[in-house]
Amino acid sequence: MFETLKSQPADKILALMQAFRDDPRTAKIDLGVGVYRNAEGVTPVMRAVKAAEHRLWQEQTTKAYVGLAGDPAFADAMIRLILNNSVPRENIAAAATPGGTGAVRQAFEMIRLANPDARIFVSDPTWPNHLSILQYLGMEAVAYRYFDDSTGGVDFDGMMADLQGAKKGDVVLLHGCCHNPTGANLNTVEWQAVIDLLNDTGAVPMIDIAYQGFGDGLEADAQPTRMVASQVPECLIAASCSKNFGIYRERTGLLMAVSQDAGATAMNQGTLAFLNRQNYSFPPDHGARLVTMILNDSALRADWMSELEEVRRSMLALREQLAGELQRLTGSDRFGFLAQHRGMFSRLGTTPELVEKLRVDHGIYMVGDSRMNIAGLNRDTVPVLARAIVDAGV
């Protein structure tokens, strides 16, 4: 029967990762997959994670199953981190998932269960896997304008105009912070306008928050999610611990279903547990346990926060260096948006042909839509990239 299988489209981010590995040149620069790397090009295990693992190894006495929604202590700790006390705890159903992607997938499945005809409004552009999973699930994606190539900022008027088309029964997918792939984000006034529009149309927001702490700081990055969750009747929040705890391969995420009606929480919680059971039964525990230990221990938490802040500041410094270097080489502020963007990514705003030229001529790998992982740079490679961008005629 397997002869009937058709080959599936390659994920463009993961295909790029492989192409970089296969390139024999030594002076190559990987700005592809969204994994943090320090100045030495290493993705380190964070100090607090190492310490928590050590403690866990000494103290853990069983690997027996925990629960279909994972350990409630993990949900509690993550809810405090993301929502703080903006929403009463009894209004939130939550389940651990295998990474942020697991949370996104489960969120889409929950939407489909509730309304098989729901349309999911997604930013143009969005993380390619959002679209891929929606297509796989047979759900309709509707693009809303988001990025303005000419300014490197958000096309807010276009976004609002397109979101007018979302109706009750539809879902609007928003990136909580550090928009992937563009790096361009809404300001507080714009977030409020989106929330008001959602409340007018009755569409339900779904927030994907995978980079909390990478933009303007842990608290500032969570602010839009808190505003949304406290002001709309219901929403979904898919959170990832991959980046801010640096535990990518441990697959640690959380899906929250928030309702202003606490009476809905039991049904939402039961649905999340059911969906986990159908897809993979119990969610992974190791990463979730580390996160819980770190968030609940004041010393580990302080150390984690300070290392995360170093990571955030190093990416900001690289952004400023790159924007400054391009300013010097071009004599214009054309690339000033790179310093305004936040998070791991920036969209350069150039053609696939020039992205290809950067790869072939300079060994610089970025996603075809010109998304660059800023953390793939260091102080020495920033001038190399800037020079290549100018030489390629971007």
Residues in touch with ligand LMR (CB under 6 A): 13, 33-34, 127, 129, 180
Catalytic residue among 96, 203, 210, 375: 210
Nearer to ligand LMR, 101 or 271 (CB): 101
Verify whether residue 118 is a known catalytic residue.
no
Q: Which of 52, 69, 96, 127 is catalytic?
A: 127
The two three-digit tokens of residue 163, written as one number? 């979101």
Residue placing its CB nearer to ligand LMR in the complex, 107 or 163: 107
The C-alpha atoms of residue 150 and residue 273 are separated, in whole angstroms, by 45
Instruction: Please state the closest distance from residue 100 (CB atom) to ligand LMR, in A.
Output: 7
Provide, rounded to whole angstroms, the least separation between the CB of residue 367 and ligand LMR.
Answer: 8
- Tokens for 247, please give them: 């535990």
Instruction: Closer to ligand LMR by CB, 125 or 349: give it.
Output: 125
Nearer to ligand LMR, 203 or 241 (CB): 241
- Return the number of the residue (75 or 344) whose C-beta is nearest ligand LMR: 344
Q: Is 208 a catalytic residue?
A: yes
Annotated catalytic residue within 170, 208, 221, 369: 208
Tell me the two tokens of residue 38: 């320090």
Smallest distance, ligand LMR to C-beta of residue 145, A:
21
* Cβ at position 63, least distance to ligand LMR in Å: 27
The reply to whether 221 belongs to the active site is no
Closest residue by Cα to residue 161 from 114, 197, 112: 197
Closest residue to ligand LMR using C-beta atoms: 34
Does the annotation count 243 as an active-site position? Answer: yes
Set 69, 162, 222, 243: catalytic member: 243
R_g over Cα of the chain: 21
**Shortest CB 168 distance to ligand LMR, Å:** 31
Catalytic residues: 127, 208, 210, 243
